[in-house]
């Protein structure tokens, strides 16, 4: 958790003071995991705000720490904060014009090019978005229009595009408007691959958070028994290069996508029934999986029947002291089974997946 959230002083308005201020967006609930990840690199002063679907982390970095930002795996987007000011009435928005300056826009673009190496269009194009910390009117339209008209005045040749090479986001938090330049693009969210459209595919940042929680060690064997398109395995092989990863699914179509995603890596992918794994008893160090749940994530079967058969089978394949990390929104079914099996477990963190809160369970075999 933040060392001291108040260390982040949001009341210094000048461009110089904002030089090293950044904003990270993680899925709602994931800030806790993103801060753990960040802490492995550095320990900056931070402040966290909950938006309806995202956790927003404001932080101040030293110039050396800035270069590490693109390595974060649990964060959806990274912004450079150009400045902020209080907004209580419409007329306050005139201050936007003094923050959107030609040199600051070019500086943001240069930082984006340095950190994320985007494909550069012949002529930069732009777009503007506004997010707020709760559902109430905050002149969203007026803020966006003001941003657009100011940029158009400075760079008349820049056209509005989506996605755009220059994206300005206004975050309205605690009655202040924070103006932020988006540094990352969709390659950060989708890991430079086209998103896999199969229902139930996990977002890579959530898969990275599950792997971070499972924390595979060198020489361990880690299994995702319902791997779908292989999102969790793809994060695993990056997190721990010296572990062995195995994946499987009952759907051959899912395995085709998993092979496309993981073709560069030497790992075993098998078609199997996860309730009867063809693996040696007591041979696996760790299972990590997002279970079928909800409408997009569900299977034809019933979780009350499926979950005990899955967990029961995986426990027999686990080594003594092995661990299981699971994500599901069907907490009622999961906790009933965990109680019946008399296991040691904890509910670790929650994340909002497709509008539903899902819980991560860590389970240990004694
Ligand atoms: C929630 S999805 C996992 C998605 C995956 N993490 C991804 O990002 O693509 C659950 C997966 O379980 C698979 N599945 C359902 N029942 C199964 C069973 N009995 N054995 C193996 N796989 C099963 C489904 O085909 C589906 O791919």
**Beta carbon of 299 within 6 Å of any ligand 1 atom:** yes
Q: Do both 72 and 12 map to the same domain?
A: yes
Q: From the CB of residue 184, how many other CB atoms can be counted at a distance below 10 Å?
A: 22
For the Cβ of 204 lying below 6 angstroms from any atom of ligand 1, the answer is: no
Name the residue range of residue 230's domain. Answer: 192-364
Q: Residue 68's domain is classified under what CATH number?
A: 3.30.2130.30
Domain end call among 189, 207, 238: 189
In terms of domains, do 167 and 263 share one? no
92 close to ligand 1 (CB < 6 Angstrom): no
Quote the ligand 1 centre to 339 CA distance (angstroms). 24
Is 281 found in the same domain as 135? no
CA distances from 253 to 7, 12, 198, 270, 294 (A): 50, 54, 9, 12, 21
Is 299 a residue whose pLDDT tops 60?
Answer: no
Q: Which of 189, 220, 237 is the last residue of a domain?
A: 189
Candidates 194, 271, 198, 201; CA nearest to 232 is 201
Residue 196: predicted pLDDT:
75
Residue nearest to ligand 1 atom 5, measured at CA: 228
Residues 213 and 331 in one domain: yes
The region of weakest confidence among 103-112, 159-168, 244-253, 291-300 is: 291-300
Instruction: Give the residue, out of 195, 198, 209, 226, with the most ligand 1 atoms within 8 A of its beta carbon, to mutate for a pocket test.
Output: 226
Q: 15: pLDDT confidence band, cut at 50, 70 and 90?
A: very low
What pLDDT is stored for residue 300 in this prediction?
47
pLDDT digits (tens, 9 = 90+) for 136-158: 667 888 999 999 999 999 999 99
> Residue 139 has what pLDDT?
85
Predicted pLDDT at 134:
72
In percent, the amount of the chain with pLDDT more than 90 equals 76
327 & 249 share domain: yes
State whether 11 and 73 are in the same domain. yes
Ligand 1 contact via 290 beta carbon (within 6 Å): yes
Mutate to test the pocket of ligand 1, among 228, 231, 234, 298 (most ligand atoms within 8 A of CB): 228
% residues pLDDT > 70 (the chain) = 92
Identify whether residues 180 and 196 lie together within a single domain. no
Span 322-338, pLDDT tens digits: 999 999 999 999 999 99
How many domains does the chain divide into?
2
Nearest CA to ligand 1 atom 15: 299
- Output b/e per residue, 151-181; b: 16+ Cβ within 10 A: beeebeebeeeeebbbbbbbbbbeebbbbbb
CA of 25 to the centre of ligand 1 (A): 28
Average confidence (pLDDT) over 164-175? 93
Residues 156 and 212 in one domain: no
Pair 113, 155 in one domain: yes
The mean pLDDT of the chain is 90
Residues 179 and 227 in one domain: no
Assess whether the C-beta atom of 275 lies below 6 angstroms from ligand 1. yes
**What mean pLDDT is predicted for residues 85-112?**
93
Burial class for 235, CB neighbours closer than 10 Å (0-12, 13-18, 19+):
buried
Q: Tell me, in angstroms, the distance from the centre of ligand 1 to residue 295's CA.
A: 13
169 closest CA partner among 25, 59, 26, 48: 25
Domain limit, last residue, from 144, 160, 189: 189
In the 8-state DSSP scheme, what is residue 114? H
* Helix-strand-coil split of the chain, %, nearest 5: 35, 30, 35
CATH number for 345: 3.40.50.150
HSE-CB at 255 with a 13 A cutoff on CA atoms is 17
Pair (173, 229) in one structural domain: no
Specify whether 198 is located in the same domain as 263.
Answer: yes
């Amino acid at each position: 958790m933040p060392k001291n959230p108040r260390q982040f002083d949001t009341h210094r308005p000048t461009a110089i003071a904002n030089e090293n201020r950044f904003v990270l967006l993680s899925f709602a609930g994931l800030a806790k995991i993103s801060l753990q990840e960040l802490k492995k690199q550095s320990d900056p002063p931070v402040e966290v705000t909950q938006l309806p679907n995202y956790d927003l982390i404001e932080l101040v970095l030293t110039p050396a720490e800035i270069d590490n930002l693109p390595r974060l795996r649990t964060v959806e987007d990274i912004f450079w904060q150009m400045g902020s000011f209080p907004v209580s009435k419409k007329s306050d928005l005139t201050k936007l014009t003094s923050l959107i300056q030609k040199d600051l826009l070019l500086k943001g673009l240069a930082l984006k090019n340095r950190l994320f190496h985007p494909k550069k269009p012949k002529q930069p194009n732009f777009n503007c978005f506004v997010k707020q910390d709760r559902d109430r009117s905050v002149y969203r339209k007026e803020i966006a229009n003001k941003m657009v008209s100011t940029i158009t005045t400075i760079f008349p040749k820049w056209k509005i595009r989506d996605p755009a090479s220059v994206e300005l986001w206004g975050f309205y938090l605690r009655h202040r408007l924070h103006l932020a330049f988006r540094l990352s693009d969709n390659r950060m969210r989708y890991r430079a691959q086209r998103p896999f459209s199969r229902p139930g595919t996990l977002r890579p940042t959530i898969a990275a958070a599950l792997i971070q929680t499972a924390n595979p060690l060198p020489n361990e064997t880690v299994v995702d028994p319902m791997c779908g398109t292989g999102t969790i395995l793809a994060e695993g092989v990056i997190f721990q290069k010296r572990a062995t990863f195995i994946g499987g699914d009952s759907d051959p179509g899912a395995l085709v996508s998993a092979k496309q995603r993981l073709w560069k890596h030497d790992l075993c992918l098998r078609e199997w029934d996860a309730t009867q794994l063809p693996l040696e008893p007591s041979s696996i160090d760790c299972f990590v999986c997002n279970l079928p749940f909800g409408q997009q994530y569900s299977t034809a079967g019933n979780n009350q029947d499926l979950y005990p058969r899955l967990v029961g089978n995986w426990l027999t394949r686990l080594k003594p002291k092995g661990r299981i990390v699971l994500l599901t929104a069907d907490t009622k079914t999961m906790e009933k089974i965990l109680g019946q099996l008399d296991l040691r477990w904890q509910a670790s963190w929650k994340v909002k997946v497709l509008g539903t809160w899902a819980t991560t369970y860590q389970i240990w075999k004694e």
